[in-house]
Structure 1
Amino acid sequence: MTTSVQHQDLVSVQWLHQALANNAQDNLVVLDATSFMPGVDRSPEQELIEQRIPRARFFDFNNKLAAPDTDLPHMLPSAEQFSLEVSKLGISNDTHVVIYDSLGMFSAPRGWWMFKTMGHNNVSILDGGLPAWIEAGLELESGELESIVPTVFNAQLQSEWVIDAEHLNELLTDNNVAVIDARPRARFLGSVKEPRKGIRSGHMPNAKNLPFGDLLDNGHFIALSEIKAKFDALSAPEQRLIFSCGSGVTACILALAANLIGRKVLTVYDGSWTEWGATECYPVVNKDS
């Protein structure tokens, strides 16, 4: 599923190519938000230097755009920190931000969710990411990034987009809420170990499982009708949806997909299973329960 409509949450490589070719698109900024799973010996920033969509800048949500005072990975920063770092990327509150990653559709939606959470709705994901751009035979850029002229971005935290563990724990039995876990089925059931050490296996009580890969086909979203059917099987249209995953990255794929089909109240549990599974006071259901 792709779209060529400007300023929607999902845009095609054809749309982006045309927009970059149009000199009037001075308010467009392209961000590479590539991030890899723990243990993968690859540097997204180095790979950006080697190969990128023209004019792309690096959206570093693992370091510069992550809360500093926590052991949890890439937690949402404060609005002040987000404003500072996004301003350094040459983004203002009037900028149309288009985000991609080098895996097709993996970590880019995390960037989309962060902008939404900070009150910036003029943000899109590139459907199919860098692989789709390359497959289309479109121009690539390499070498060191050009210097960026800073601008002013003012973030305004939209609290309904994010939730912490304590608040989520209170909502697990609320019929107005559906908690949906994006991890693969085996991890959700607790039949395999978690990739991070010291994390219990299993899932939250009453949580549903929708593996993020079930929504994708070769880095593109499947048809909206198919996405809707998957969400309708797990939740009612009026329910608030709270998404979790391993560390708050692929949960954002589900949030984006739900947004595409018109679901309204969407929340990501930022700490996700890395926090929940490591904190003994929070309940866990697994194959041994």
Structure 2
Amino acid sequence: MAQDDPTTLVSTAWLARHMKDPDLRVLDGSWYLPAAGRDPRAEYEAAHIPGARFFDIDEISDHRSDLPHMAPPVEKFMSRVRALGVGDGHKVVVYDGMGLFSAARVWWLFRLMGHDDIAVLDGGLPKWQAEGRPVESTPPVIRDRHMTVRRRPELVRNVTEVAQASKLGDHTILDARAAARFRGDAPEPREGLRAGHIPGARSVPYTDLLNDDGTMKEPDALRAVFDAAGADLSKPVITTCGSGVTAAVINLALARLGKTDHALYDGSWTEWGAFPTVPVATGDA
């Protein structure tokens, strides 16, 4: 079992022990690819961890962008999080309905906004329910609480910065998509995107970082995954994926290893694959 760390990852047992802490806030950060045919809000309304509030990744985003669920402006994040009753002094635990998938995106977003007191629930709702722990369908009573936001731009990268990093080779770029998509052997789920990967990137499918039960692997096993991928962790890391969701699983794994100089490419392949002036590589890295 992974060691509990309230700034990265906590176990279901840890959450069960702390459920009645007055300053604990639990968020359901479930999000699914369209092909999954699942409605995260409907699933939340049917059954969620007691007291949990639903964090809508698509709604709490920058709607001025044509790209999906880009990080929202500071003001929007503040207002939406306040409406969820989450604020200064709160310890946040976020989970999702797949085990460990989209919750890491919410973890990264809170950190981007300067709130480090947040952890992902290891194994998520599936593990919680498999252990017979309680769920409820009633919404929580929410009281507004102000959150001080200090955006940390070093945790996010744009297409220009990633293109420079790819060209110079001064960063390690890690791609969380499935290996077939990385190689360009499988079509992209979004129409109009080229197939392949950012030149110089390494393939680290987010699923390789997880155990069969959806929990994250132990630190030694995580290091072995990165080593097998040829990932040079002595350099700063930029993570990427399809649309900036599962890339955050890599960021979470890096944080578990104590690495601090890593950022997420928010536009990810949805932007890069459609951008006409950036190169695309195929095959293995």
User: What TM-score do you get using the length of structure 2 for normalisation?
Assistant: 0.95
Which structure 2 residues correspond to residues 10-25 of structure 1 after superposition, within 5 A?
10-20=9-19, 22=20, 25=21
Q: Distance in 2 between matches of 1:277 and 1:175?
A: 20
1:14-56 Cα deviation digits (max 9, x unpaired) = 1101101x3xx11110000000002333211111111111000
1:53-77 Cα deviation digits (max 9, x unpaired) = 10000011111x1001111110000
- Are the equivalent residues in 1 in contact too, given 2:93–2:120 (CA < 8 A)? yes
Q: What fraction of aligned residue pairs are identical, expressed as a percent?
A: 38
- Are the equivalent residues in 1 in contact too, given 2:7–2:116 (CA < 8 A)? no
SS at match of 2:168: coil
Instruction: Provide the residue aligned with 2:263 in structure 1.
Output: 267
List structure 1 runs of 4+ shifted beyond 6 angstroms: none
- Are the equivalent residues in 2 in contact too, given 1:108–1:125 (CA < 8 A)? yes
User: What TM-score do you get using the length of structure 1 for normalisation?
Assistant: 0.94
SS at match of 1:267: strand
Q: Which moves more between the two structures, 246-255 or 221-230?
A: 221-230
Instruction: Provide the residue aligned with 2:52 in structure 1.
Output: 56
1:183-226 Cα deviation digits (max 9, x unpaired) = 01100000111001111100011111001110111210112101
Q: Which moves more between the two structures, 246-255 or 85-94?
A: 85-94
CA positional deviation for 1:93: 2.0
- Are the equivalent residues in 2 in contact too, given 1:4–1:14 (CA < 8 A)? no
Instruction: Provide the residue aligned with 2:173 in structure 1.
Output: 179
The number of residue pairs the alignment matches comes to: 282
- Are the equivalent residues in 1 in contact too, given 2:2–2:217 (CA < 8 A)? no
List alignment gaps of at least 5 residues for structure 2: none
Q: Distance in 2 between matches of 1:73 and 1:12?
A: 30
1:135 aligns with 2:130: yes
SS at match of 1:173: helix
1:97-143 Cα deviation digits (max 9, x unpaired) = 00000110110000000011110000000000001101111111113
Instruction: Provide the residue aligned with 2:188 in structure 1.
Output: 194
CA positional deviation for 1:175: 3.7
Which structure 2 residues correspond to residues 100-139 of structure 1 after superposition, within 5 A?
100-139=95-134
- Are the equivalent residues in 1 in contact too, given 2:87–2:145 (CA < 8 A)? yes
Q: Distance in 2 between matches of 1:156 and 1:79?
A: 8
CA positional deviation for 1:8: 3.6
- Are the equivalent residues in 2 in contact too, given 1:32–1:58 (CA < 8 A)? yes
SS at match of 1:172: helix
Instruction: Provide the residue aligned with 2:87 in structure 1.
Output: 92
CA positional deviation for 1:167: 1.3
Q: Distance in 2 between matches of 1:111 and 1:28?
A: 16
1:31 aligns with 2:27: yes
Give the RMSD, CA atoms, in angstroms: 1.4
Q: Distance in 1 between matches of 2:168 and 2:226?
A: 18
Instruction: Provide the residue aligned with 2:61 in structure 1.
Output: 66
